[in-house]
Amino acid sequence: MNAEETFKGVSKIRGVNLGGWLVVEGWIKTSLFDEIPNGDLLDGTQVQFKSIMLQKFVSAANGGGAEVTVDRSVPSSWETFKIWRVSDSEFQFRSLGGQFLTCGGEWESISASAESPSATETFHIERNHDRVHIRLLSGIYVQATSTNQLVANYQGNPGWDDNAATFQMIIAANDLHGDYQLANGYGQDKAKEVLSKHRRNFITQEDFRFLSMNEINTVRIPVGWWIAYDPDPPAPFIGGSLEALDDAFSWALTYNLKCIIDLHAAPGSQNGMEHSASRDGSVDWPGSPEFISQSLDVIDFLASRYANHPSLLGIELLNEPFAPSVPVDVLTSYYSKGYQIVRKYTSTAYVIFCQRIGRASPLELYQANIGTSNTVVDLHYYNLFDDFYVNLTSTDNIDFIYNNRQAEVQALNSANGPLVFIGEWVNEWNVKNASKAAYQAFGMAQLDVFSQASFGWSYWTLKNERKHWDFEWNILNNYLLLDSSASREIARKLLLWMSLCASLYLHQIG
């Protein structure tokens, strides 16, 4: 890019993500989930059941498809079930193979054979600490028999002693805290109250003023697919995010910021994570023509609504599709169609294609020849989420930025195709008890390298309970130094100091 060139009036992108606002991520603001009854049993929670009497685990052999047994001494995948929450005490249980536990009635065995859930797949759970009773909606309790079967035939009302109808419930994983879990956990009325308050207060006009005063020129705004159905999206999702997005565009205009709209959560989920609004961790988007078509309709809605708004910079067609669950041919076909949809409404807005996560090369998107003008490939760079980074020192992390990240950015910059955008990065790592100076050096190394990307960068995220992920906290506490001239000199001195310390340490132990 020549010095005179700009992106719709903005110099190279210096952006911040508004994560956790219009798409919920529980780890960003944990208090959103505090008042949900039985809040440890949300959609997607993985549970195991151990018979108190037999001291064996309930198991769906081969992942499902037949009667379940109570005969496993050690739990693994066959003994783990994903919750679909119906109410705060009624649940459905999905086996590894995707089938649901089901029971036809009294004296019937439990099997993992239902392809979709209804009343016969719904069980009432009574809890006493980690002990539970499981009963049908008819009131009949389930018990583990001496022949290692799970049958709905317990007579009477079981107490909490070591009887055949009492199980220990073990929560094996509780990783999903997204829009689906929040809305389905609270129910429509309470969820609307919680989310309305959150959307009003988490990001405000004052935040846009703060960003503008701190040399930020762009916000990347994650949205969920249900925004296109506002104000009454399909259950359990809650309306109101469209009004908040309209506010963001208005505030951006006031403070001379640009907006990138990012489809962060697609129907069916493109990566199984909470930020894609997955119900139970499944990745159903790529295998469903209906979900893909629905996603394209959302892009059409967003492009038609904001194409002529002076604050629109670009539309990102999908965030973090997961490889290999999302095949590259399915993804590039979707990107090509999404590009054409955006171009129906605007010839100047940038169309952004996110790289697949899960060890996929961004070069696959350059080789696909998607679109002909104003296209961008989005890479997400974290020195986290992989065992490779676990034991790196602060110097190792900084070296990795300069040696590995920089090489990839420069190679993609010179490739024939889309511009390069580091759409997510953070001033956090696995280094324990790192000093403020070390964080400053790490942040400046990233700023130095990511500023070389031909389109620019965007920090994840503006606000976060984990302070080093919080852009605002980093700026106010001088952990992230944005001023280009002064901070580069500081970073140079910090890097020199860190290298010297490392050399002295190696000399001493040698």
Residues acting as catalytic residues: 320, 424
Q: Between helices 205-213 and 241-254, what is the axis angle to 10°?
A: 40
Q: How far apart are CA 307 and CA 347, in angstroms?
A: 9
C-beta neighbour count of 240 within 10 angstroms: 18
Count other C-beta atoms under 10 Å from residue 282's C-beta: 16
Give yes or no for a cis peptide into 231 (omega within 30° of 0). yes
Cα–Cα distance measured from residue 332 to residue 273, given in angstroms and rounded to the nearest whole number: 21
Residue 434: CA atoms inside 13 Å, Cβ hemisphere, count? 24
Phi, psi of 81 (to 5 degrees): -125, 140
DSSP state of 403: I
Both tokens assigned to 370: 């998607």
Residue in 380, 181, 137 with CA at minimum distance from that of residue 269: 181
Please give the Cα distance from 123 to 114 (Å, whole number): 14
CB atoms within 10 A of CB 159: 11
Supply the DSSP string of 49-111, one letter for each residue.
EEETTT--EEE-GGGSSSB-EEEESS--STT-EEEEESSSSEEEEE-TTSPEEE--STTPBPE
Cα–Cα dist 97/40, whole Å: 23
175-204 burial code (b ≥16 CB/10 A, e <16):
ebbbbbbbbbbbeeeebeebbeebbeebbe
Residues making up the chain, counted from first to last = 510
Strand bridging mode 167-173 / 46-51: antiparallel
C-alpha–C-alpha distance, residues 484 and 486, integer Å? 6
